[in-house]
Chains A and B, each alone.
Chain A
Protein backbone atom coordinates (compact mmCIF):
# COMPACT_ATOMS: atom_id res chain seq x y z
CA UNK A 1 0.00 0.00 0.00
CA UNK A 2 1.46 3.34 -1.05
CA UNK A 3 0.65 6.08 1.41
CA UNK A 4 0.94 9.86 1.27
CA UNK A 5 1.17 11.72 4.59
CA UNK A 6 0.52 15.46 4.59
CA UNK A 7 2.39 17.28 7.35
CA UNK A 8 2.83 20.91 8.32
CA UNK A 9 5.77 22.89 9.67
CA UNK A 10 4.54 24.65 12.81
CA UNK A 11 6.28 26.70 15.51
CA UNK A 12 7.31 24.63 18.52
CA UNK A 13 5.66 26.70 21.22
CA UNK A 14 6.56 26.03 24.83
CA UNK A 15 5.73 29.34 26.48
CA UNK A 16 4.03 32.64 25.80
CA UNK A 17 4.02 33.89 22.21
CA UNK A 18 4.44 37.38 20.79
CA UNK A 19 3.10 38.76 17.53
CA UNK A 20 5.06 39.91 14.50
CA UNK A 21 5.14 43.58 13.49
CA UNK A 22 2.15 43.22 11.18
CA UNK A 23 0.07 41.59 13.89
CA UNK A 24 -1.02 38.87 11.49
CA UNK A 25 1.36 36.15 12.63
CA UNK A 26 3.39 35.17 15.65
CA UNK A 27 7.05 36.13 15.99
CA UNK A 28 8.84 32.91 15.08
CA UNK A 29 12.35 34.32 15.31
CA UNK A 30 13.13 32.66 18.62
CA UNK A 31 11.15 29.48 18.06
CA UNK A 32 12.08 26.08 16.73
CA UNK A 33 9.80 24.23 14.38
CA UNK A 34 8.23 20.82 14.32
CA UNK A 35 5.32 18.96 12.78
CA UNK A 36 1.94 18.83 14.51
CA UNK A 37 1.50 16.04 17.04
CA UNK A 38 -1.42 14.41 15.21
CA UNK A 39 0.78 14.30 12.11
CA UNK A 40 3.61 12.58 13.99
CA UNK A 41 1.10 9.83 14.68
CA UNK A 42 -0.07 9.87 11.06
CA UNK A 43 3.53 9.31 9.92
CA UNK A 44 3.90 6.43 12.38
CA UNK A 45 0.62 4.84 11.26
CA UNK A 46 1.71 5.16 7.65
CA UNK A 47 5.06 3.52 8.32
CA UNK A 48 3.42 0.61 10.16
CA UNK A 49 0.74 0.15 7.50
CA UNK A 50 3.21 0.35 4.61
CA UNK A 51 5.50 -2.14 6.34
CA UNK A 52 2.61 -4.56 6.79
CA UNK A 53 1.69 -4.38 3.12
CA UNK A 54 5.07 -3.98 1.44
CA UNK A 55 4.28 -0.42 0.44
CA UNK A 56 5.85 3.00 0.58
CA UNK A 57 5.40 6.24 2.51
CA UNK A 58 5.74 9.65 0.91
CA UNK A 59 5.47 12.82 2.99
CA UNK A 60 4.20 16.11 1.61
CA UNK A 61 4.14 19.62 2.96
CA UNK A 62 3.00 23.03 1.79
CA UNK A 63 5.45 25.45 3.33
CA UNK A 64 8.61 27.50 3.05
CA UNK A 65 11.88 26.01 1.80
CA UNK A 66 12.84 25.33 5.42
CA UNK A 67 9.93 22.88 5.70
CA UNK A 68 12.20 20.34 4.03
CA UNK A 69 13.48 19.81 7.59
CA UNK A 70 10.12 18.32 8.59
CA UNK A 71 10.06 16.17 5.45
CA UNK A 72 13.53 14.83 6.21
CA UNK A 73 12.53 14.24 9.84
CA UNK A 74 9.73 11.99 8.56
CA UNK A 75 12.15 10.19 6.24
CA UNK A 76 14.51 9.70 9.19
CA UNK A 77 11.86 7.63 10.97
CA UNK A 78 10.93 5.54 7.94
CA UNK A 79 9.24 7.49 5.15
CA UNK A 80 10.68 6.87 1.69
CA UNK A 81 10.62 10.27 0.01
CA UNK A 82 9.07 13.72 0.16
CA UNK A 83 7.19 16.37 -1.77
CA UNK A 84 7.71 20.05 -0.97
CA UNK A 85 5.11 22.47 -2.32
CA UNK A 86 7.06 25.61 -1.72
CA UNK A 87 5.11 28.60 -0.46
CA UNK A 88 7.11 31.37 1.18
CA UNK A 89 4.12 32.38 3.30
CA UNK A 90 1.65 29.51 3.61
CA UNK A 91 -0.52 31.57 5.98
CA UNK A 92 -2.07 33.35 2.99
CA UNK A 93 -3.73 30.10 1.98
CA UNK A 94 -7.06 29.06 3.46
CA UNK A 95 -8.01 25.43 4.10
CA UNK A 96 -9.79 25.19 0.74
CA UNK A 97 -6.65 26.40 -1.04
CA UNK A 98 -4.41 23.95 0.77
CA UNK A 99 -6.72 21.06 -0.07
CA UNK A 100 -6.79 22.12 -3.71
CA UNK A 101 -3.00 22.44 -3.88
CA UNK A 102 -2.52 18.98 -2.38
CA UNK A 103 -5.20 17.50 -4.63
CA UNK A 104 -3.51 18.90 -7.72
CA UNK A 105 -0.18 17.39 -6.70
CA UNK A 106 -1.79 14.00 -5.98
CA UNK A 107 -3.23 14.03 -9.49
CA UNK A 108 0.08 15.16 -10.95
CA UNK A 109 2.00 12.42 -9.17
CA UNK A 110 -0.55 9.85 -10.39
CA UNK A 111 0.10 10.96 -13.95
CA UNK A 112 3.81 10.65 -13.25
CA UNK A 113 3.26 7.08 -12.07
CA UNK A 114 3.30 7.64 -8.31
CA UNK A 115 -0.19 6.76 -7.09
CA UNK A 116 -1.34 6.65 -3.50
CA UNK A 117 -3.81 4.21 -1.99
CA UNK A 118 -4.21 6.20 1.18
CA UNK A 119 -3.71 9.86 2.07
CA UNK A 120 -3.17 10.56 5.76
CA UNK A 121 -3.24 13.92 7.52
CA UNK A 122 -3.39 15.07 11.11
CA UNK A 123 -6.86 15.86 12.44
CA UNK A 124 -5.86 19.51 12.61
CA UNK A 125 -2.69 21.56 12.65
CA UNK A 126 -1.22 22.81 15.92
CA UNK A 127 -1.17 26.40 14.71
CA UNK A 128 -4.39 27.07 12.79
CA UNK A 129 -6.55 24.24 14.12
CA UNK A 130 -8.82 24.46 11.08
CA UNK A 131 -9.93 20.81 11.08
CA UNK A 132 -11.08 20.70 7.48
CA UNK A 133 -8.17 20.26 5.06
CA UNK A 134 -8.49 16.47 5.08
CA UNK A 135 -12.22 16.54 4.44
CA UNK A 136 -11.90 19.18 1.71
CA UNK A 137 -9.11 17.16 0.09
CA UNK A 138 -11.26 14.02 0.11
CA UNK A 139 -14.11 15.82 -1.64
CA UNK A 140 -11.65 17.25 -4.16
CA UNK A 141 -10.27 13.79 -4.91
CA UNK A 142 -13.72 12.17 -4.63
CA UNK A 143 -12.41 9.74 -2.02
CA UNK A 144 -14.17 8.57 1.14
CA UNK A 145 -12.84 10.22 4.30
CA UNK A 146 -12.63 9.42 7.99
CA UNK A 147 -11.41 11.68 10.79
CA UNK A 148 -10.42 11.06 14.43
CA UNK A 149 -8.77 7.76 13.48
CA UNK A 150 -6.12 6.23 15.74
CA UNK A 151 -5.45 2.80 14.23
CA UNK A 152 -5.40 1.25 10.75
CA UNK A 153 -5.29 -2.44 9.89
CA UNK A 154 -5.05 -3.58 6.25
CA UNK A 155 -7.69 -6.09 5.19
CA UNK A 156 -6.13 -9.54 5.12
CA UNK A 157 -7.17 -10.41 1.58
CA UNK A 158 -6.09 -7.05 0.22
CA UNK A 159 -9.35 -6.58 -1.59
CA UNK A 160 -12.46 -4.54 -1.05
CA UNK A 161 -15.70 -3.73 -2.74
CA UNK A 162 -14.38 -0.46 -4.08
CA UNK A 163 -11.06 -1.80 -5.26
CA UNK A 164 -9.54 0.28 -7.97
CA UNK A 165 -12.67 2.38 -8.38
CA UNK A 166 -10.85 5.67 -8.87
CA UNK A 167 -8.31 6.33 -11.54
CA UNK A 168 -6.44 9.06 -9.66
CA UNK A 169 -4.77 6.54 -7.41
CA UNK A 170 -3.78 2.99 -7.89
CA UNK A 171 -5.70 2.23 -4.72
CA UNK A 172 -7.35 -1.05 -4.14
CA UNK A 173 -8.45 -3.08 -1.17
CA UNK A 174 -9.64 -1.84 2.15
CA UNK A 175 -8.50 -1.09 5.67
CA UNK A 176 -10.11 -1.35 9.08
CA UNK A 177 -9.93 2.00 10.83
CA UNK A 178 -10.53 2.58 14.53
CA UNK A 179 -11.19 5.81 16.35
CA UNK A 180 -12.65 6.98 19.62
CA UNK A 181 -16.31 8.02 19.42
CA UNK A 182 -18.76 9.26 22.02
CA UNK A 183 -19.79 5.75 23.08
CA UNK A 184 -16.53 3.86 22.71
CA UNK A 185 -14.14 2.71 20.00
CA UNK A 186 -15.74 3.01 16.58
CA UNK A 187 -14.64 0.60 13.84
CA UNK A 188 -14.95 1.43 10.15
CA UNK A 189 -14.28 -0.57 6.98
CA UNK A 190 -12.76 1.83 4.50
CA UNK A 191 -12.45 1.16 0.79
CA UNK A 192 -9.35 2.52 -0.89
CA UNK A 193 -8.29 4.96 -2.15
CA UNK A 194 -9.28 7.10 0.79
CA UNK A 195 -8.32 10.01 3.00
CA UNK A 196 -7.88 9.54 6.75
CA UNK A 197 -7.31 12.27 9.34
CA UNK A 198 -5.41 10.90 12.29
CA UNK A 199 -5.99 11.68 15.96
CA UNK A 200 -3.10 11.40 18.39
CA UNK A 201 -3.28 8.52 20.83
CA UNK A 202 -3.31 5.25 18.91
CA UNK A 203 0.39 4.84 18.19
CA UNK A 204 3.62 6.18 19.64
CA UNK A 205 5.80 8.01 17.11
CA UNK A 206 9.23 6.42 16.86
CA UNK A 207 12.57 8.13 17.21
CA UNK A 208 14.96 8.30 14.27
CA UNK A 209 17.91 5.90 14.15
CA UNK A 210 21.38 6.92 13.04
CA UNK A 211 20.78 5.00 9.81
CA UNK A 212 17.50 6.83 9.39
CA UNK A 213 19.17 10.21 9.81
CA UNK A 214 21.76 9.30 7.19
CA UNK A 215 19.04 8.14 4.80
CA UNK A 216 17.09 11.36 5.35
CA UNK A 217 19.99 13.48 4.13
CA UNK A 218 19.96 11.72 0.77
CA UNK A 219 16.19 11.27 0.37
CA UNK A 220 14.58 12.44 -2.86
CA UNK A 221 12.42 15.54 -2.39
CA UNK A 222 10.22 16.50 -5.34
CA UNK A 223 9.54 20.23 -5.39
CA UNK A 224 6.55 22.19 -6.69
CA UNK A 225 5.79 25.90 -6.58
CA UNK A 226 2.53 26.72 -4.82
CA UNK A 227 0.02 28.57 -7.00
CA UNK A 228 -1.58 31.87 -6.00
CA UNK A 229 -4.17 31.35 -3.28
CA UNK A 230 -7.72 31.13 -4.57
CA UNK A 231 -10.11 31.73 -1.69
CA UNK A 232 -7.36 33.02 0.59
CA UNK A 233 -7.31 33.21 4.34
CA UNK A 234 -10.04 35.26 6.06
CA UNK A 235 -7.64 36.32 8.85
CA UNK A 236 -7.72 40.01 9.71
CA UNK A 237 -5.17 39.88 12.51
CA UNK A 238 -4.05 37.89 15.52
CA UNK A 239 -4.75 38.94 19.08
CA UNK A 240 -3.20 37.78 22.32
CA UNK A 241 -5.15 36.98 25.46
CA UNK A 242 -4.94 39.41 28.31
CA UNK A 243 -2.05 38.57 30.62
CA UNK A 244 -3.38 38.08 34.10
CA UNK A 245 -1.19 38.93 37.05
CA UNK A 246 -0.51 35.96 39.28
CA UNK A 247 -2.91 35.98 42.22
CA UNK A 248 -1.97 32.61 43.65
CA UNK A 249 -2.59 31.94 47.32
CA UNK A 250 0.11 29.65 48.64
CA UNK A 251 -1.63 27.34 51.09
CA UNK A 252 1.67 26.11 52.52
CA UNK A 253 4.49 23.69 51.95
CA UNK A 254 4.40 19.90 52.08
CA UNK A 255 1.85 17.64 53.77
CA UNK A 256 1.18 20.17 56.53
CA UNK A 257 -0.77 22.27 54.00
CA UNK A 258 -3.27 19.46 53.32
CA UNK A 259 -5.97 20.70 55.77
CA UNK A 260 -5.95 24.12 54.08
CA UNK A 261 -6.59 22.49 50.68
CA UNK A 262 -9.37 20.34 52.10
CA UNK A 263 -10.95 23.53 53.45
CA UNK A 264 -10.91 24.93 49.90
CA UNK A 265 -12.40 21.74 48.46
CA UNK A 266 -15.15 21.76 51.08
CA UNK A 267 -15.90 25.39 50.29
CA UNK A 268 -16.22 24.56 46.59
CA UNK A 269 -18.39 21.60 47.52
CA UNK A 270 -16.63 18.86 45.60
CA UNK A 271 -15.83 16.36 48.35
CA UNK A 272 -18.04 13.33 47.95
CA UNK A 273 -19.94 12.59 51.19
Chain B
Protein backbone atom coordinates (compact mmCIF):
# COMPACT_ATOMS: atom_id res chain seq x y z
CA UNK B 1 0.00 0.00 0.00
CA UNK B 2 0.97 3.60 -0.37
CA UNK B 3 0.74 6.09 2.46
CA UNK B 4 0.68 9.77 1.54
CA UNK B 5 1.43 12.47 4.12
CA UNK B 6 -1.33 15.02 3.56
CA UNK B 7 -0.78 18.70 4.24
CA UNK B 8 -3.74 20.93 4.95
CA UNK B 9 -3.95 24.71 4.79
CA UNK B 10 -5.09 27.07 7.52
CA UNK B 11 -8.72 26.38 6.56
CA UNK B 12 -8.19 22.64 6.94
CA UNK B 13 -8.42 21.97 3.20
CA UNK B 14 -6.03 19.59 1.44
CA UNK B 15 -3.28 21.60 -0.26
CA UNK B 16 -2.82 21.55 -4.02
CA UNK B 17 0.58 19.90 -3.75
CA UNK B 18 -0.77 17.13 -1.52
CA UNK B 19 -3.61 16.54 -3.99
CA UNK B 20 -0.92 16.15 -6.65
CA UNK B 21 1.01 13.67 -4.50
CA UNK B 22 -2.13 11.63 -3.84
CA UNK B 23 -2.92 11.54 -7.55
CA UNK B 24 0.64 10.49 -8.29
CA UNK B 25 0.38 7.68 -5.76
CA UNK B 26 -3.01 6.52 -7.00
CA UNK B 27 -2.14 6.47 -10.69
CA UNK B 28 1.38 5.07 -10.69
CA UNK B 29 1.40 1.33 -11.15
CA UNK B 30 5.13 0.98 -10.52
CA UNK B 31 5.39 2.91 -7.30
CA UNK B 32 5.61 0.04 -4.84
CA UNK B 33 8.78 -1.88 -4.02
CA UNK B 34 8.87 -5.25 -5.77
CA UNK B 35 8.26 -7.23 -2.60
CA UNK B 36 5.44 -5.05 -1.41
CA UNK B 37 3.38 -5.03 -4.57
CA UNK B 38 2.42 -8.67 -4.33
CA UNK B 39 1.42 -8.62 -0.70
CA UNK B 40 -0.42 -5.40 -0.14
CA UNK B 41 -2.79 -4.82 -3.02
CA UNK B 42 -5.88 -4.52 -0.95
CA UNK B 43 -8.08 -2.78 -3.47
CA UNK B 44 -9.09 -4.84 -6.47
CA UNK B 45 -8.54 -3.08 -9.74
CA UNK B 46 -6.06 -0.62 -8.31
CA UNK B 47 -2.65 -1.85 -9.44
CA UNK B 48 -0.79 0.32 -6.98
CA UNK B 49 -2.70 -1.06 -4.01
CA UNK B 50 -4.66 1.19 -1.73
CA UNK B 51 -3.77 4.84 -1.41
CA UNK B 52 -4.06 5.92 2.19
CA UNK B 53 -3.67 9.37 3.67
CA UNK B 54 -1.86 10.44 6.83
CA UNK B 55 -3.17 13.64 8.42
CA UNK B 56 -1.54 15.16 11.48
CA UNK B 57 -3.69 17.50 13.55
CA UNK B 58 -7.19 18.73 12.80
CA UNK B 59 -9.14 16.70 10.24
CA UNK B 60 -12.13 18.58 8.88
CA UNK B 61 -15.19 17.02 7.25
CA UNK B 62 -14.32 18.93 4.08
CA UNK B 63 -10.84 17.39 4.04
CA UNK B 64 -12.28 13.90 4.47
CA UNK B 65 -14.65 14.51 1.55
CA UNK B 66 -11.80 15.97 -0.54
CA UNK B 67 -9.60 12.95 0.16
CA UNK B 68 -12.48 10.66 -0.75
CA UNK B 69 -12.83 12.39 -4.11
CA UNK B 70 -9.09 11.94 -4.65
CA UNK B 71 -9.49 8.18 -4.11
CA UNK B 72 -8.07 7.90 -0.60
CA UNK B 73 -9.65 4.83 0.98
CA UNK B 74 -8.24 5.15 4.50
CA UNK B 75 -7.20 8.21 6.50
CA UNK B 76 -4.75 7.69 9.34
CA UNK B 77 -5.52 10.56 11.67
CA UNK B 78 -2.73 11.47 14.08
CA UNK B 79 -3.92 13.88 16.73
CA UNK B 80 -2.33 14.55 20.11
CA UNK B 81 -1.85 17.71 22.18
CA UNK B 82 1.93 17.38 21.76
CA UNK B 83 1.56 17.44 17.97
CA UNK B 84 -0.34 20.73 17.86
CA UNK B 85 2.87 22.74 17.66
CA UNK B 86 4.96 21.43 14.78
CA UNK B 87 7.99 19.37 15.66
CA UNK B 88 9.49 17.43 12.77
CA UNK B 89 10.88 14.70 15.03
CA UNK B 90 7.58 14.14 16.88
CA UNK B 91 5.47 14.24 13.71
CA UNK B 92 7.88 11.88 11.95
CA UNK B 93 7.85 9.39 14.82
CA UNK B 94 4.04 9.44 14.89
CA UNK B 95 4.06 8.63 11.18
CA UNK B 96 6.66 5.89 11.67
CA UNK B 97 4.54 4.37 14.42
CA UNK B 98 1.60 3.79 12.06
CA UNK B 99 3.48 3.27 8.78
CA UNK B 100 3.44 -0.05 6.95
CA UNK B 101 6.52 -2.25 7.04
CA UNK B 102 6.39 -2.61 3.29
CA UNK B 103 5.05 -0.35 0.59
CA UNK B 104 5.64 3.29 -0.14
CA UNK B 105 5.49 6.29 2.14
CA UNK B 106 5.54 9.60 0.34
CA UNK B 107 4.89 13.30 0.67
CA UNK B 108 4.84 16.24 -1.65
CA UNK B 109 8.24 17.88 -2.09
CA UNK B 110 7.36 20.89 0.04
CA UNK B 111 9.69 22.01 2.84
CA UNK B 112 7.46 20.21 5.35
CA UNK B 113 7.19 17.07 3.23
CA UNK B 114 10.93 16.94 2.59
CA UNK B 115 11.79 17.42 6.24
CA UNK B 116 9.35 14.81 7.53
CA UNK B 117 10.27 12.15 4.98
CA UNK B 118 13.98 12.64 5.75
CA UNK B 119 13.29 12.07 9.45
CA UNK B 120 11.09 9.08 8.61
CA UNK B 121 13.80 7.60 6.37
CA UNK B 122 16.39 7.76 9.13
CA UNK B 123 14.03 6.39 11.77
CA UNK B 124 12.99 3.46 9.57
CA UNK B 125 16.53 2.79 8.36
CA UNK B 126 15.57 3.42 4.75
CA UNK B 127 17.01 5.41 1.88
CA UNK B 128 14.99 8.36 0.66
CA UNK B 129 14.57 9.72 -2.84
CA UNK B 130 13.49 13.34 -3.21
CA UNK B 131 11.67 15.07 -6.03
CA UNK B 132 10.36 12.01 -7.87
CA UNK B 133 8.62 12.81 -11.15
CA UNK B 134 7.93 9.33 -12.58
CA UNK B 135 8.42 5.64 -11.98
CA UNK B 136 8.31 2.72 -14.37
CA UNK B 137 9.96 -0.63 -15.08
CA UNK B 138 13.38 1.05 -15.12
CA UNK B 139 13.03 2.45 -11.61
CA UNK B 140 12.35 5.84 -10.16
CA UNK B 141 13.04 9.11 -11.95
CA UNK B 142 13.73 12.27 -10.02
CA UNK B 143 14.69 15.87 -10.73
CA UNK B 144 18.31 16.87 -10.18
CA UNK B 145 20.33 19.96 -11.09
CA UNK B 146 17.30 22.10 -10.40
CA UNK B 147 15.15 20.26 -12.90
CA UNK B 148 17.59 20.51 -15.81
CA UNK B 149 18.30 16.77 -15.66
CA UNK B 150 16.71 13.64 -14.26
CA UNK B 151 18.30 10.89 -12.22
CA UNK B 152 17.24 7.30 -12.78
CA UNK B 153 17.66 5.28 -9.60
CA UNK B 154 16.57 2.19 -7.74
CA UNK B 155 15.99 1.94 -4.01
CA UNK B 156 16.51 -1.18 -1.97
CA UNK B 157 14.30 -2.15 0.92
CA UNK B 158 10.67 -3.06 1.40
CA UNK B 159 9.62 0.46 2.32
CA UNK B 160 10.24 3.27 -0.12
CA UNK B 161 10.39 6.77 1.32
CA UNK B 162 9.86 9.42 -1.35
CA UNK B 163 8.88 12.98 -2.01
CA UNK B 164 7.07 13.92 -5.19
CA UNK B 165 8.29 16.98 -7.08
CA UNK B 166 5.84 19.84 -7.13
CA UNK B 167 3.56 19.65 -10.16
CA UNK B 168 4.85 16.27 -11.30
CA UNK B 169 1.22 15.58 -12.18
CA UNK B 170 -2.12 17.35 -12.13
CA UNK B 171 -4.46 16.56 -9.25
CA UNK B 172 -7.31 14.42 -10.51
CA UNK B 173 -10.44 13.36 -8.72
CA UNK B 174 -11.77 9.86 -9.26
CA UNK B 175 -14.82 7.83 -8.34
CA UNK B 176 -15.50 9.13 -4.83
CA UNK B 177 -15.08 6.81 -1.89
CA UNK B 178 -15.96 7.29 1.74
CA UNK B 179 -12.64 6.99 3.55
CA UNK B 180 -12.38 5.00 6.74
CA UNK B 181 -10.81 7.22 9.41
CA UNK B 182 -8.43 5.51 11.83
CA UNK B 183 -7.56 7.31 15.05
CA UNK B 184 -4.68 6.26 17.24
CA UNK B 185 -3.52 6.43 20.83
CA UNK B 186 -0.15 8.06 20.40
CA UNK B 187 2.75 8.31 22.80
CA UNK B 188 5.04 11.24 22.11
CA UNK B 189 8.56 11.10 23.51
CA UNK B 190 9.70 14.24 25.29
CA UNK B 191 13.00 14.12 23.41
CA UNK B 192 11.15 14.47 20.11
CA UNK B 193 9.66 17.78 21.23
CA UNK B 194 13.01 19.51 21.65
CA UNK B 195 12.64 21.29 18.32
CA UNK B 196 8.98 22.16 18.31
CA UNK B 197 7.76 25.54 17.13
CA UNK B 198 7.70 28.00 20.02
CA UNK B 199 5.48 30.50 18.25
CA UNK B 200 4.40 31.55 14.77
CA UNK B 201 4.31 35.13 13.58
CA UNK B 202 1.40 34.91 11.20
CA UNK B 203 1.56 38.59 10.32
CA UNK B 204 4.65 37.80 8.27
CA UNK B 205 2.69 35.28 6.26
CA UNK B 206 4.36 33.06 3.75
CA UNK B 207 3.23 34.28 0.36
CA UNK B 208 4.46 31.05 -1.19
CA UNK B 209 1.10 29.39 -0.55
CA UNK B 210 -0.58 32.11 -2.61
CA UNK B 211 2.03 31.72 -5.31
CA UNK B 212 1.66 27.98 -5.64
CA UNK B 213 -2.13 28.07 -5.82
CA UNK B 214 -2.63 31.19 -7.98
CA UNK B 215 -4.19 30.67 -11.41
CA UNK B 216 -2.24 33.63 -12.78
CA UNK B 217 1.27 34.62 -11.76
CA UNK B 218 3.02 37.72 -13.04
CA UNK B 219 6.78 37.32 -12.86
CA UNK B 220 9.21 40.20 -12.58
CA UNK B 221 12.95 40.15 -13.09
CA UNK B 222 15.86 42.53 -13.18
CA UNK B 223 14.14 44.31 -16.05
CA UNK B 224 11.86 46.20 -13.64
CA UNK B 225 14.90 48.36 -12.90
CA UNK B 226 14.55 49.08 -9.18
CA UNK B 227 12.54 48.25 -6.08
CA UNK B 228 10.19 51.07 -7.08
CA UNK B 229 9.65 49.61 -10.54
CA UNK B 230 6.91 47.11 -9.70
CA UNK B 231 3.92 49.48 -10.05
CA UNK B 232 2.59 48.30 -13.41
CA UNK B 233 3.35 44.66 -12.60
CA UNK B 234 1.48 44.78 -9.29
CA UNK B 235 -1.47 46.46 -10.99
CA UNK B 236 -1.57 43.59 -13.50
CA UNK B 237 -1.44 41.10 -10.61
CA UNK B 238 -4.48 42.86 -9.18
CA UNK B 239 -6.39 42.77 -12.47
CA UNK B 240 -5.76 39.03 -12.68
CA UNK B 241 -6.45 38.29 -9.02
CA UNK B 242 -3.14 36.49 -9.10
CA UNK B 243 0.23 36.56 -7.40
CA UNK B 244 3.59 38.19 -7.97
CA UNK B 245 6.57 35.92 -8.54
CA UNK B 246 10.10 37.24 -8.88
CA UNK B 247 13.47 36.00 -10.04
CA UNK B 248 16.41 35.33 -7.74
CA UNK B 249 18.13 38.46 -8.99
CA UNK B 250 15.26 40.53 -7.65
CA UNK B 251 15.40 38.99 -4.17
CA UNK B 252 19.21 39.09 -4.24
CA UNK B 253 19.05 42.83 -4.84
CA UNK B 254 16.65 43.15 -1.92
CA UNK B 255 13.83 44.53 -4.05
CA UNK B 256 11.28 41.88 -2.96
CA UNK B 257 11.15 39.21 -0.22
CA UNK B 258 12.39 35.67 -0.77
CA UNK B 259 8.87 34.32 -0.23
CA UNK B 260 7.99 35.70 -3.67
CA UNK B 261 10.92 34.01 -5.39
CA UNK B 262 10.13 31.47 -8.09
CA UNK B 263 12.70 28.90 -9.11
CA UNK B 264 15.02 26.20 -7.90
CA UNK B 265 15.45 27.71 -4.44
CA UNK B 266 12.06 29.41 -4.36
CA UNK B 267 8.52 28.30 -5.12
CA UNK B 268 7.61 25.96 -7.94
CA UNK B 269 4.37 27.05 -9.54
CA UNK B 270 1.78 25.66 -11.91
CA UNK B 271 -0.57 28.52 -12.80
CA UNK B 272 -2.86 28.59 -15.81
CA UNK B 273 -0.73 31.46 -17.07
CA UNK B 274 2.68 32.82 -16.13
CA UNK B 275 3.56 36.25 -17.52
CA UNK B 276 7.32 36.72 -17.29
CA UNK B 277 8.17 40.42 -17.38
CA UNK B 278 11.81 41.28 -17.94
CA UNK B 279 13.03 37.80 -17.02
CA UNK B 280 15.70 36.36 -19.29
CA UNK B 281 15.10 32.73 -18.32
CA UNK B 282 17.98 31.49 -16.19
CA UNK B 283 17.83 27.75 -15.84
CA UNK B 284 17.17 27.99 -12.11
CA UNK B 285 14.11 30.16 -12.76
CA UNK B 286 12.82 27.93 -15.54
CA UNK B 287 12.89 25.02 -13.07
CA UNK B 288 10.25 26.80 -11.04
CA UNK B 289 7.81 27.55 -13.85
CA UNK B 290 7.82 24.36 -15.84
CA UNK B 291 4.35 23.54 -14.48
CA UNK B 292 2.81 26.69 -16.02
CA UNK B 293 0.16 25.76 -18.56
CA UNK B 294 0.61 28.89 -20.66
CA UNK B 295 3.80 30.92 -20.68
CA UNK B 296 3.87 34.56 -21.80
CA UNK B 297 7.10 36.56 -22.10
CA UNK B 298 7.43 40.32 -22.20
CA UNK B 299 11.04 41.15 -22.98
CA UNK B 300 13.16 43.51 -25.01
CA UNK B 301 15.36 40.63 -26.18
CA UNK B 302 13.67 38.41 -28.75
CA UNK B 303 16.47 35.85 -28.36
CA UNK B 304 16.08 35.51 -24.59
CA UNK B 305 15.53 31.95 -23.34
CA UNK B 306 12.23 32.99 -21.80
CA UNK B 307 10.94 34.25 -25.14
CA UNK B 308 12.09 31.13 -26.97
CA UNK B 309 10.38 28.90 -24.41
CA UNK B 310 7.17 30.94 -24.25
CA UNK B 311 3.83 30.21 -25.89
CA UNK B 312 3.25 33.93 -26.50
CA UNK B 313 5.61 36.88 -26.40
CA UNK B 314 5.62 40.62 -26.77
CA UNK B 315 8.93 42.23 -27.62
CA UNK B 316 9.32 45.52 -25.83
CA UNK B 317 9.93 47.42 -22.63
CA UNK B 318 7.99 45.76 -19.82
CA UNK B 319 6.90 49.01 -18.21
CA UNK B 320 5.38 50.32 -21.46
CA UNK B 321 3.81 47.00 -22.41
CA UNK B 322 2.37 46.13 -18.98
CA UNK B 323 0.98 49.65 -18.59
CA UNK B 324 -0.75 49.27 -21.94
CA UNK B 325 -2.10 45.85 -20.94
CA UNK B 326 -3.51 47.34 -17.74
CA UNK B 327 -5.13 50.17 -19.67
CA UNK B 328 -6.65 47.70 -22.12
CA UNK B 329 -8.06 45.55 -19.31
CA UNK B 330 -9.58 48.61 -17.65
CA UNK B 331 -11.01 49.78 -20.98
CA UNK B 332 -12.68 46.44 -21.64
CA UNK B 333 -14.20 46.34 -18.16
CA UNK B 334 -15.94 49.68 -18.71
A interface residues with partner B (beta carbon < 8 Å): 11, 13-17, 19, 26, 37-38, 94-96, 123-124, 126-132, 135-136, 139, 144-148, 150, 162, 180-191, 199-202, 204, 231, 233-241, 244, 246-262, 264-266, 268-273
Given A182-B206, A257-B321, A271-B329, 11 additional A-B pairs, CB 8 A: A183-B10, A190-B195, A233-B153, A235-B152, A238-B151, A250-B315, A251-B312, A253-B315, A258-B325, A259-B328, A270-B273
Q: Does B118 lie within 8 Å of A132, measured CB to CB?
A: yes
> Does B261 touch A at the CB level, under 8 Å?
yes
Q: A272 CA to B255 CA in the complex, in Å?
A: 27
Q: Does A132 lie within 8 Å of B148, measured CB to CB?
A: no
Report A109 CB to chain B, min CB distance, Å: 23
Partner of B119, one of A129, A135, A180, A237: A135
Partner of A261, one of B139, B141, B242, B296: B296
Tell me the B108-142 residues at the A interface (CB within 8 Å). 111-112, 114-115, 118-119, 121-122, 127-131, 138-139, 141
Q: Does A13 lie within 8 Å of B145, measured CB to CB?
A: yes
B245-257: CB near A (< 8 Å → 1, else 0) gives 0001001101001
B265, B316, B317: residue with the most chain A Cβ atoms closer than 10 Å: B265
Q: Does A251 lie within 8 Å of B313, measured CB to CB?
A: yes
Q: A128 CA to B125 CA in the complex, in Å?
A: 21
Report B205 CB to chain A, min CB distance, Å: 5
Asked, given contacts A184-B204, A239-B141, A270-B242, whether A94 binds B312 with beta carbons under 8 Å apart, the answer is no
Chain B residues, Cβ within 8 Å of A231: 127
Q: Does B146 lie within 8 Å of A13, measured CB to CB?
A: yes
Q: Does A254 lie within 8 Å of B320, measured CB to CB?
A: yes
> Does B324 touch A at the CB level, under 8 Å?
yes
Report B235 CB to chain A, min CB distance, Å: 12
Q: Of the 9-residue stretches B64-72, B97-105, B302-310, which lies at the interface with chain A?
A: B302-310
Q: What secondary structure prevails in chain A residues at the interface with B? A: mixed
Asked, given contacts A129-B146, A262-B328, whether A185 binds B294 with beta carbons under 8 Å apart, the answer is no
Q: Does B316 lie within 8 Å of A255, measured CB to CB?
A: yes
Asked, given contacts A132-B118, A144-B195, whether A187 binds B201 with beta carbons under 8 Å apart, the answer is yes
> Does B241 touch A at the CB level, under 8 Å?
yes
Q: Does A184 lie within 8 Å of B325, measured CB to CB?
A: no
Report B266 CB to chain A, min CB distance, Å: 8
Chain A residues, Cβ within 8 Å of B122: 132, 135-136, 139
Asked, given contacts A189-B198, A239-B150, A264-B296, whether A254 binds B273 with beta carbons under 8 Å apart, the answer is no
> Does B215 touch A at the CB level, under 8 Å?
yes
Report B267 CB to chain A, min CB distance, Å: 11
Partner of B204, one of A16, A185, A200, A236: A185
Q: A231 CA to B154 CA in the complex, in Å?
A: 13
Chain A residues, Cβ within 8 Å of B121: 132
Can you list 27 residue pairs at the A/B interface with Cβ under 8 Å? A14-B283, A123-B111, A127-B145, A135-B119, A145-B88, A147-B111, A180-B111, A182-B206, A183-B200, A184-B204, A200-B265, A204-B252, A231-B127, A236-B138, A236-B152, A236-B153, A239-B141, A239-B152, A246-B309, A255-B324, A257-B316, A257-B321, A258-B328, A268-B216, A268-B294, A270-B242, A272-B238
